[in-house]
Structure 1
Amino acid sequence: MNTSIQHYSAFTTDPRGGNPAGVVLDARALADTDMQRIAADLGYSETAFLLLRPDGEFDIRYFSPRAEVSFCGHATIAAMVAHAERHGSGERVLHTQAGEVRVTVDDAGMATLTSVAPRVVPMTDDALDLSLAALDWRRDELDPALPPAVAYAGAWHPVIAAATRARLARMDYAFDTLASLMAQHGWTTLALVWRENAGTFHARNPFPPGGVVEDPATGAAAAALGAYLAARGALPAERSFVILQGEDMGRPSRLQVSVPADSGAGVRVSGTAVAIA
C-alpha cells in the first residue's frame, strides 16, 4: 500500500500555473485525522485521497487545510491524471460525498469530469448585500445581464458577475467576515466572474472557508457556473465555454465547460494536469 503524496497542478500544462493539489493514490491506511493533517501540512487549497473499493471503483475524499469538503474539481482532475499516468487512460467512477462523479482521461492526458446533477437557487438580497460589503463591491459594478444566484454541481457557489474586467481584477476582501458569511450559508467559494464574450469567462474564487485567500482554478465552481448559465439561458449555441482563471494571481489556468441539453445531467469540466517537481 503506497500512501506517498503526489503533487500536481490542475488546469494547466505548466507547473507554474494552474491550481496545485496534493494527491494520495491509495489512502486506505489513513484515518480522517491523518488526511486532515496532510492537507494542512501541504497548504494547498485541496488534497485528494483515493480509496479503492472492492468493485474497482473509488471513494474519494477532499480536505482543505481547515476542513473536509464534499467535492473539489481541480483535485479530481489532478488525482485522475496522476492515476492515469500510472494505470492507463480510460473512465473511472468516483464516489464523493456529493454523489457519483465519472472521470475520463484520454491518451493525451485530458481529463473530463461529469458532475452530479446541478441546481440553481436565488441569492437573497441580504446575502448579496453582505457579500458585496465583504468584497467592497457595489451593486452598480455588477453585470445586470447576469444577476447573482447560488449554483450547485457538487458544492454551493454564489455566482456574482462583474460588469468590467477591471472590477474583477481589484479584489481585497475582508477575509474573516466573508469566511463567517460563507460558513453560515454552506458556500464553498464565491464564483466572481466577468464575461468577455459568449464563450469566454474570467473568474476569481475566494475560498476563506478552506483557509485559502483565492483559488487559481476551481473545477467545482466551473461546473456550477455552467449550471447557472444554463438556467439563465445564457449559454452559447454550442453549450460550451472556457474559463480563464488565476491570471491575477500569476497562475494562469484554463477550464473547459460543457453543459448537456438534459437539465438533469451533470456538467462536464475538462482540463489537463501536470506533476510539480
Structure 2
Amino acid sequence: MIAIVNVCLREGRGGSPTAVVDDAAPATLTDAERSRVPVRCGTSHAVFVTRRHPQSAPGVSTPHESRAATAPSTVDLRFFTAGGELPACGHGTIAAMAFLARQRGSTEHEFRLCVSARTFAGRAVLDGDTIHAAFDPGSVALREPASAEIDPVVAALGVGPDLLAPGACVASLGRARMLIPVATPAVVAALVPEFDRLRAACDRFGLLGCYVYSAPTSAGRVTARMFAPSIGVPEDIANANSTACLAAHLADRGVTDLRVDMGDALGSPATITASTRRCPTGLKILVGGAATFTGTR
C-alpha cells in the first residue's frame, strides 16, 4: 500500500502530492521499480521509509520526554523520481514524518532521520487532520556562479537582463542547484522555460535545477518556482531543500524567517517555512511545512 501525502499546504489546501512507501522489506523492490512508483501514483517524488529501531517501551524516559509523547524513532529515508534516486528531498522528508506521526497517533513526535549516511533531527505535531513537520537539513555550501554558468540558465528561463536581480548563487545541499533572484513576484509567475535548453544547461554544470525567487518582503514572504528537468521534474510544486538553501543565502542579509509560496503556476498552492539562527557550530536552519493525507494507492 502506498500513502499519498499532500505536503507544504497553504492555509490547508494545495500542496505537493508525495508517495510514501512503508519499506519494511527493502529487498522486495529494485531501484528501477522504485523509480516507477511516482509515475504510477501521479506524483513527482516517492519516499521509502524503513524503521531502523523499534519505538521505546512505555515508561522508558528519553531526553525529549517532556515534549514528545513517544521516544524518538530512527528511520532511513530514500527518495526517487522517475529519473532515479535523489540524495535528499525536503518535501519528501516532511511527507515521511507526517506518515510516521499519523501511524503513531499521539500529538508530538521526534525523529532521527537517516539520509545518505547523514543523521539529523525532525519533529512533527498533529493538529486534527493536519501534521506540521520541520527538520534540520544540514549545512548549505554557497558559491558565486561564473557568468558562463548563469547565462545559459537564464537564457533557457527566458528572463531578460532587466528583470534579473543581483545575488545569484549556486547552493549545494545533497546536490547543487542555482538560485536566481528576479525583480518581482510577477516575473516569477510569468516564467515559461524552454525545458530542453534548461536541462542541457543544468546537466552541463552538474545542477539538479534552478530555483527562481522574488526578493523577500519585510515580513519575509517570497514567491518562488523550482525547475528541475535534470531529475525528471520539469517544475516542482514545493521544494523545501531549495528553500533551505535560500534561507542560508539570505541569512547574512539579516533575513532570518521566510515563508515561500510555490505551486501556483501548477494550480496547487504550497508554502514552505524556513528559519535560521547562528550558533557556535555555524548556521542552524529549520525548514518545514504542513501536510495532510489524501488517500492510498
- The two structures have a TM-score, normalised by structure 1, of 0.89
1:273 and 2:291 aligned: yes
After the TM superposition, which parts of structure 1 deviate over 4 Å for at least 4 consecutive aligned residues? 13-16
Q: Which residue of 1 aligns with 2:58?
A: none
Contact 1:188–1:207 (Cα < 8 Å) also in 2: yes
In the TM superposition, what whole-angstrom CA distance separates every residue of 1:22-70 from its partner, at most 9, and x where no partner exists? 0012252433232122233234221000122247522111001111111
Identity rate, percent = 28
Q: Which residue of 2 aligns with 1:192?
A: 212
User: For the residues of structure 2 that align with 1:192 and 1:13, how far apart are their CA atoms?
Assistant: 19
User: For the residues of structure 2 that align with 1:270 and 1:136, how far apart are their CA atoms?
Assistant: 30
1:211 and 2:232 aligned: yes
User: For the residues of structure 2 that align with 1:107 and 1:168, how far apart are their CA atoms?
Assistant: 33
1:120 and 2:142 aligned: yes
Most deviating of 18-27 and 183-192? 183-192
Q: Which residue of 1 aligns with 2:51?
A: 52
1:19 and 2:10 aligned: no
User: For the residues of structure 1 that align with 2:164 and 2:268, how far apart are their CA atoms?
Assistant: 25
Structure 2 residue runs without a partner (length 5+):
55-72
Contact 1:118–1:264 (Cα < 8 Å) also in 2: no
Contact 1:43–1:65 (Cα < 8 Å) also in 2: no
Most deviating of 249-258 and 90-99? 90-99
Amino acid at match of 1:218: N
Contact 1:150–1:157 (Cα < 8 Å) also in 2: yes
User: For the residues of structure 2 that align with 1:218 and 1:98, how far apart are their CA atoms?
Assistant: 21
Secondary structure of residue in 1 paired with 2:261: strand
Q: Which residue of 1 aligns with 2:3?
A: 6
Contact 2:32–2:84 (Cα < 8 Å) also in 1: no
User: For the residues of structure 1 that align with 2:226 and 2:117, how far apart are their CA atoms?
Assistant: 20
Q: Which residue of 1 aligns with 2:124?
A: 105
In the TM superposition, what whole-angstrom CA distance separates every residue of 1:62-103 from its partner, at most 9, and x where no partner exists? 001111111111111111111100114311111112722321
Q: Which residue of 2 aligns with 1:171?
A: 191
Amino acid at match of 2:38: A
1:131 and 2:131 aligned: no
User: For the residues of structure 1 that align with 2:11 and 2:275, how far apart are their CA atoms?
Assistant: 23
In the TM superposition, what whole-angstrom CA distance separates every residue of 1:94-148 from its partner, at most 9, and x where no partner exists? 111272232100243210111121111111101100101111112221123xx10
State the shift of 1:185 in Å.
2.6
Secondary structure of residue in 1 paired with 2:215: strand
Q: Bigger radius of gyration, 1 or 2? A: 2
Contact 2:102–2:126 (Cα < 8 Å) also in 1: no
Q: Which has the higher strand share?
A: 2
Aligned length: 268
User: For the residues of structure 2 that align with 1:209 and 1:24, how far apart are their CA atoms?
Assistant: 24
Q: Which residue of 1 aligns with 2:163?
A: 141
